[in-house]
């Protein structure tokens, strides 16, 4: 009897040891109701060229309705992919930034007509800086919709001309008038022919104290190098000065010129718009002490409400899954962050 019990205990262990490992990669399922003639799975972010690469389907062998296709990434550590099905009727089904490490089966169900490609850079007229401008100030901004850039109201207030430098080094002109909210210190600029992808806002969960954040922008233009700067920090408080609930306090260091730049979480989603740093000299005059590294950003929720009033529809994505490195978040921000020059 004792020998029988030992054998009975060993059998489940042997069965578990021989259990097959789950298949590698992830599975894409076509739930669109139309067969797909092309399938693309590209590690996100795709880059400023918005290139989808080659289709994974064999020519002449479409992915049928409710059919599945297994994708095995060349990098087993890669977790985030942009997915795209091109359907037989010409429509596309696109799912950006899918965490395939958390979800090994991804269904694409909705489809729409493909967006027209942006005009070639050579056809978009450039607007170089006016070297004779008597009064110039600078700031930062980021793409929140097609041909739309968000920044601070104080960055563009009183400007006779607003031009933006793209990550590729081209100068484009903003078309007046800007949509502004002086109370929130936010503005939206129309910039025809704007390249680069849209930065998505965070759809949830709510931001918490202690979360890591990345500020990206162009501080101290004319003093520091002309390339954008990244600073990493944390959310220190869920309100601004005098309990301003439209702002959050952050430890990511910002300087003049960072104003209007994106504040991103560690998924690369917008959680705020950099707006100011505490005036240490004034605080020292009142308290006798020098406050250090106290900075603020307009909450993403307030920014989204402003965009609704401005009739602009941004992208929003939930922040979930494995966090990215600060360098990866910087790569995401870089493609969509603009240097803003205000000429008066």
Q: List residues with catalytic annotation.
A: 154, 185, 259
**What gap in Å lies between CA 55 and CA 151, rounded to an integer?**
37
Q: Are 38 and 57 in contact (CB under 8 A)?
A: yes
DSSP 125: P
Distance of alpha carbon 91 from its chain centroid, rounded? Answer: 25
Which are the contacts of 278, defined by CB distance < 8 A and separation ≥ 6?
A: 241, 291, 294, 295, 296
Tokens of 163: 């031009």
d(CA 148, CA 164): 12
Three-state DSSP class for residue 249: strand
List the alpha helices (DSSP H) in the chain.
Answer: 2-17, 153-156, 280-287, 300-309, 326-334
Q: How far is CA 305 from the centre of its chain?
A: 18
Instruction: Give, for 263, the enclosing helix (H) or strand (E).
Output: strand 262-265
> Tokens representing 18?
């021989």
Is it true that the peptide bond before 177 is cis, omega within 30 degrees of 0? yes
Alpha carbon of 68 to those of 25, 33, 85, 158: distances in Å?
13, 13, 12, 56
């Amino acid at each position: 009897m004792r020998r029988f019990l030992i054998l009975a205990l060993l059998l489940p262990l042997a069965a578990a040891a021989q259990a097959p490992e789950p298949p590698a990669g992830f599975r894409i399922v076509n739930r669109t109701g139309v067969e797909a003639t092309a399938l693309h799975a590209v590690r996100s972010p795709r880059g400023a060229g918005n290139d989808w690469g080659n289709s994974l389907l064999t020519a002449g062998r479409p992915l049928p309705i409710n059919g599945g296709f297994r994708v095995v990434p060349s990098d087993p550590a890669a977790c985030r992919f942009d997915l795209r099905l091109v359907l037989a009727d010409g429509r596309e089904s696109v799912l950006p930034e899918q965490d395939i490490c958390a979800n090994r089966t991804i269904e694409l169900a909705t489809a729409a007509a493909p967006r027209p490609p942006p005009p070639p850079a050579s056809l978009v007229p450039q607007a170089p800086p006016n070297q004779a401008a008597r009064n110039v100030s600078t700031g930062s901004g980021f793409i929140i919709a097609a041909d739309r850039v968000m920044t601070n109201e104080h960055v563009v207030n009183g400007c006779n001309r607003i031009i933006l430098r793209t990550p590729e080094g081209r100068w484009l002109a903003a078309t007046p008038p800007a949509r502004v909210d002086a109370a929130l210190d936010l503005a939206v600029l129309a910039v025809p022919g704007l390249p680069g992808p849209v930065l998505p806002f965070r759809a949830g969960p709510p931001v918490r104290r202690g979360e890591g954040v990345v500020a990206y922008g162009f501080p101290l233009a004319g003093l520091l190098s002309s390339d954008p700067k990244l600073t990493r920090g944390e959310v220190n408080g869920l309100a601004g000065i005098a309990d301003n609930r439209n702002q959050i306090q952050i430890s990511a260091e910002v300087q003049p010129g960072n104003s209007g730049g994106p504040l991103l979480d560690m998924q690369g989603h917008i959680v705020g718009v950099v707006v100011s740093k505490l005036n240490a000299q004034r605080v020292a005059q009142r308290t006798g002490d020098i406050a250090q590294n106290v900075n603020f950003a307009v909450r993403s929720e307030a920014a989204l409400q402003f965009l609704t009033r401005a009739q602009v529809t941004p992208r929003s994505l939930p922040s979930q899954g494995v966090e990215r490195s600060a360098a990866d978040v910087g790569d995401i921000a870089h493609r969509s962050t603009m240097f803003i020059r205000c000429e008066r």
